[in-house]
Amino acid sequence: METDDIVRPIVDLHCHSKASDGTLEPAEVYNRACDNGVDKLALTDHDTIAGCLELKQAIDDGRIVKRAELISGIELSCLWNKRGIHIIGLGFDLDSEVMTDAVSRQTAVRNERAVTIGKRLAKLGFPNCYEGALTIADGCQIGRPHFAQYMLAQGYVSNINQAFTKYLGAGKPGDVKSGWPSLAEAVGWIKDSGGIAVVAHPERYKLTRTKLCQLLQCFVDAGGQGIEMAGKAQHINTQRDIAKLCAQYELLASVGSDFHNPEYRWNDLASVPSIPADLTPVWQHLKPVVQ
């Protein structure tokens, strides 16, 4: 895709730490991002801001040398037409009571969901998965990747991918959607906290073009403002298609690696696509949490 001649910062506005289902501590994510050349970073753990708060405090205290701008971030789980959708929140007030309450609600839903997943897996002959996943999560937001790690460690599956394709992925026993807020509610939480809502990885929902357009219209109607461009590993035609939708719905363009694990080199920190010159980058409207 053609871009202008202006030198733009290297930005990564979608990544995860051990605060949710990543493998690195928040400080390790930040330092790795800086080492990879990132100028602006948002840590967007699933349904929690614990990692963001930890990073902000560490930078304030001087325990981490400030190199990249830290943007507040979160990835909220929600439902649209009975489908699980992820919405990124960027640039919100970390001290917002609205966001604090939202995180508390999401944490409760995650815990209830994890218990249900454990019961379903036990019926399939895989005992103690909830307890195992809880131990692996170690006090952080529990998610399906923790179940997958436990199942792999117990020899129930031969690899992480098999855990999702057979037991935890969409339409499988571990795919529990009940309890998540509506799309409009999740967007509302972000807006009311002073942030910008962004549709995360729209190409992954396997929606038809018509359905994707319906999703984006509902998102815009709810006050959503941005869409995440496809990652570098995606086909160029996918990137172009999302860029067209971004322009069509007058959305801000965001980019993120969706980093979880340094072993997955294809989505390492800073592995993000270029944004076409005719689109407005979301980071032009974001302020760092640490000046």
Residue 280 φ then ψ, to 5°: -95, 120
Question: Which residue type, as a one-letter code, is found at position 82?
Answer: K
- For residue 79, give the 3-state DSSP assignment: strand
Domain borders along the chain are 11-92+184-285, 104-168
- From the number of C-beta atoms within 10 Å of its C-beta (0-12, 13-18, 19+), residue 126 rates as buried
- From the number of C-beta atoms within 10 Å of its C-beta (0-12, 13-18, 19+), residue 47 rates as buried
Do 272 and 255 contact (CB within 8 A), yes or no?
A: yes
Task: With CA atoms as reference, report the closest residue to 25 among 63, 75, 82.
Answer: 63
Cα separation of 219 and 221, whole Å?
Answer: 5
Cα separation of 231 and 77, whole Å?
Answer: 20
The pLDDT, as a whole number, for residue 5 is: 46
* Residue owning tokens 């694990």: 261
The pLDDT, as a whole number, for residue 211 is: 97
Task: With CA atoms as reference, report the closest residue to 45 among 26, 70, 66, 27.
Answer: 26
The pLDDT, as a whole number, for residue 6 is: 57
The pLDDT, as a whole number, for residue 72 is: 98
DSSP 259: B
Do 39 and 9 contact (CB within 8 A), yes or no?
A: yes
Greatest extent of the chain over all pairs of C-alpha atoms, in Å: 58
Walk along the chain (291 residues) and give the pLDDT tens digit of each residue: 444 445 689 999 999 999 999 999 999 999 999 999 999 999 999 999 999 999 999 999 999 999 999 999 999 999 999 999 999 999 999 999 999 999 999 999 999 999 999 999 999 999 999 999 999 999 889 999 999 999 999 999 999 999 999 999 988 999 888 799 999 999 999 999 999 999 999 999 989 999 999 999 999 999 999 999 866 666 788 888 999 999 999 999 999 999 999 998 888 999 998 899 999 999 999 999 976
DSSP 182: B
Residue 110 φ then ψ, to 5°: -60, -40
Do 212 and 222 contact (CB within 8 A), yes or no?
A: no
Question: What pTM did the predictor assign?
Answer: 0.92
Do 41 and 69 contact (CB within 8 A), yes or no?
A: yes
* The token pair that represents 37 in the structure block: 């050349």
Write down the CATH number for the domain with range 11-92+184-285: 3.20.20.140
* The token pair that represents 290 in the structure block: 């640490």
CA distances from 213 to 38, 199, 208 (A): 32, 12, 9
Task: Order across the sheet with 252-254: list the strands.
Answer: 73-80, 83-90, 196-199, 226-228, 252-254
* The token pair that represents 206 in the structure block: 């396997």
- For residue 78, give the 3-state DSSP assignment: strand
Write down the CATH number for the domain with range 104-168: 1.10.150.650
